[in-house]
Structure 1
Amino acid sequence: MAVPGTRQPPDLIHLLTQAERLLGRRLAAILNAEGCSLDAWRVITLLADGTGHHMTEVAEHAFLPPGTLTKLMDQLADDGLVYRRVDDIDRRRIRAYLTPRGRGLHRQLSRQVEAGMSRLLTASGEQDLLKDLLTRLVDSLAHPPASRSEPAAERVG
């Protein structure tokens, strides 16, 4: 039990949540100046690789439910930033791509985001270390180790 007046160190979940919210606000301020939302930025950054992505993959990357993604994709298409095509292999699926205008917006915003984010961790290697640690955390949470199915060892008496 904590002694009144003493400060407990924050737990990992609280720190991660706080960092995500503060970083989201900072990123949103950069993006909003150019008329781009954080959700739209997540979509644009995924599509920037030029390979085209299925809507399911885009929804997962942007952390959006399908209905919300559809509305966002419609808006991005209306703004001339993305286009959608039927997949050549599986005609039931749709792939999304950036238009030339979308690629230009991505290049422009990437420079601004990079400049804004580079000021956060200035010591040599801090950003790389943080990315590595967060990647390892996400990977371990996304792919937990298999549960042990072996029977408990018998006691020797």
Structure 2
Amino acid sequence: MEAALGPDGPTLDQWRVLTLLSDGAGHPMTEIASHAMVPAPTLTKIVDRLVERALVYRRPDETDRRRVLVFLSDHGRARYERLAPAVTRVGDELADELGTQDAARLVELLERLRASPG
């Protein structure tokens, strides 16, 4: 996966953030941390780096000004769309290597790990 993202591309943690934000909606930090599977302080550093690279931006939530939402910038969307096919290919190659049933089982197990409270 790292090879698909390239030497100057986002890290895996950053990629998970970009993937969530690619839906075009703004997301609160708590939701992003859960999706990226990182603790809140780590996510803050990840988002700070993405902001520095102009891939994302923060904006106060219009319905709750105490909350901050993170959005994918136009530059971030272009980068995401350029890298997504290579990342998808890696996933497809892994699925081919494992076979359909084992690949589905792996996804199920990883989702269970992600959802576990520990």
What CA distance in whole angstroms lies between the structure 1 residues aligned with 2:72 and 2:25?
Answer: 9
Instruction: Report what 2:52 is aligned to.
Output: 78
Highest RCO, 1 vs 2 (Cα 8 Å, sep ≥ 6): 2
- How far did residue 138 of structure 1 move? 2.5
Q: If you compute each CA radius of gyration, which structure gives the higher value, 1 or 2?
A: 1
In structure 2, do the counterparts of structure 1 residues 133 and 117 end up closer, same or farther at CA, with 3 Å as the change threshold?
A: closer
Instruction: Report what 1:126 is aligned to.
Output: 100
User: Does the residue aligned with 2:58 lie in a helix, a strand or coil?
Assistant: strand
Give the one of 33, 40, 45 matched to 1:59: 33
- Unaligned runs of 5+ residues in structure 2 are none
Instruction: Report what 1:11 is aligned to.
Output: none
In structure 2, do the counterparts of structure 1 residues 105 and 64 end up closer, same or farther at CA, with 3 Å as the change threshold?
A: same
- How far did residue 133 of structure 1 move? 6.2
Give the structure-2-normalised TM-score: 0.82
- How far did residue 35 of structure 1 move? 2.3
Instruction: Report what 2:16 is aligned to.
Output: 42
| % same residue | 41
Structure ranking higher in helix proportion: 2
Letter in 2 for 1:39: D
User: What is the alpha-carbon root mean square deviation over aligned residues?
Assistant: 2.7
Instruction: Report what 2:65 is aligned to.
Output: 91
- How far did residue 28 of structure 1 move? 2.0
- How far did residue 121 of structure 1 move? 2.2
Residue deviations 1:23-73 (CA, integer Å, cap 9, x gap): xxxx12222434210000010000000111000001111111111111111
In structure 2, do the counterparts of structure 1 residues 59 and 116 end up closer, same or farther at CA, with 3 Å as the change threshold?
A: same
User: Does the residue aligned with 1:85 lie in a helix, a strand or coil?
Assistant: strand
Which moves more between the two structures, 41-50 or 57-66? Answer: 57-66
Aligned residue-pair number: 115
Give the structure-1-normalised TM-score: 0.63
- Unaligned runs of 5+ residues in structure 1 are 1-26, 143-157
